[in-house]
Structures are given as structure tokens and as C-alpha cells.
Amino acid sequence: MAFQLPDLPYADNALEPHYSANTFSFHHKKHHNAYVTKANELVAGTDLDNASLEEAIQQAHKDGNQGLFNQVAQIWNHTFFWNSMAPNGGGEATGDIADAIKADFGSTEELAAKFKASAVGNFGSGWTWVVLNGGKLEIVNTSNAGTPLTDGMKPVLTVDVWEHAYYLDYQNRRPDFVQAFFDHLVNWDFANANMKG
């Protein structure tokens, strides 16, 4: 079964003015779609033709197949990023993750400040994540298509810090984009579901 481009979990203008339909028209319809098309080309006729996305990520990582890994991991990472945002999101954490943030970071504000510093310091293209690592909430960076899935960590939230993720709305102002993510976009319900799952 071929990998599919998932629909956005909201209308393409639902996150405006913080994340625009124009950005989604490139980021989802072009960039994300290109990873799907390329991944399907690479697995066609191979043992991974019918693999799940997660299986393909782990196998490509294990085989050192960087070409395939880049495409399948980017499919997964982008889908996870769309779900990390929601209309009227952001603000104070709620639910189980609020307790975990309090225990491991002190406050949502402190988590956001550390996350922002990490995202700003993530040189070049990559991703900044909140993960569960051995039951503790941590902030980690990955480069290029890297994903915490291959390091035994459980992703909870992510922000895409490739320039294509924010350039149309924020130009070179990555710190403003990450701040808007915490102020207006974070989907705490999604984070809480990932804490449980």
C-alpha cells in the first residue's frame, strides 16, 4: 500500500494569522506531498512496498538507507507537526502534560523559553521536539529529517524549523514563529494523547 498524504486536521486557513493558508499551500501541498511521492518511488518493488510508515522509518534507519529514511521520516514528522497545532491553541498547558511540565520545567512559560532557545539554536534545517524520555519530559533537536522515533523516545510535540516552515509568514524570524507556536498554536490535547498512548 502506497504512503498517502494525509489531509490537514483543520481548514488551511484555520490557524491564521499565525500560520497562513499560503504557507500550507506550499508546506503541505508541495513539500509534504513531495516526500510522499518520492518515498513511494523508492519503496516500489522492494520489501518495504507494504510496510507501514513507522516500519519503513525504522528499517531505513537500521539499513543506513539515508535516501529512503529522509523521505519517510519527513512524511511522519510533518503529519506530527500538523497535529501539534490547533485553532485557538497555545497558552497554558492543560491536563496530564501540565503536571509533567510543572515537575520537569516548572511552568509552561519556562518550557516555552527553553524550547525556543533550543529551536533558535538548531542550526540549519531540522526539528525541535518535546519528548518523553524514560518517563521524563525533555526538549530535543533533530537535524534534517531526524526523528526521536529512532532514539527510543516518545514524541509529544514538534515544531518544524526548516525555513520552508515559516519563511512566508515570518521571513527569517524563527524566534517569532516559535513564540507564536506557544502563544497561539500548541495543541495540548494532542500532547496529552501522546503522553497516554
Q: How many alpha carbons lie under 13 Å from residue 16 in its C-beta half-sphere?
A: 10
The residue among 69 and 105 lying less far from Fe ion, judged by its C-beta, is 69
Closest contact distance (angstroms) between CB of 76 and Fe ion is 12
CB of 9 to Fe ion, least distance (A): 16
Q: Which is nearer to Fe ion, 23 or 59 (CB)?
A: 23
Q: Which is nearer to Fe ion, 86 or 100 (CB)?
A: 86
Q: Which is nearer to Fe ion, 96 or 176 (CB)?
A: 176
- Cβ 142 to Fe ion shortest distance, Å: 12
- The C-alpha atoms of residue 39 and residue 36 are separated, in whole angstroms, by 5
- Distance in Å, CB of 179 to Fe ion, minimum: 19
Which residues bind to Fe ion, rule: CB under 5 A? 160, 162, 165
Q: Which residue is nearest to Fe ion (CB)?
A: 160
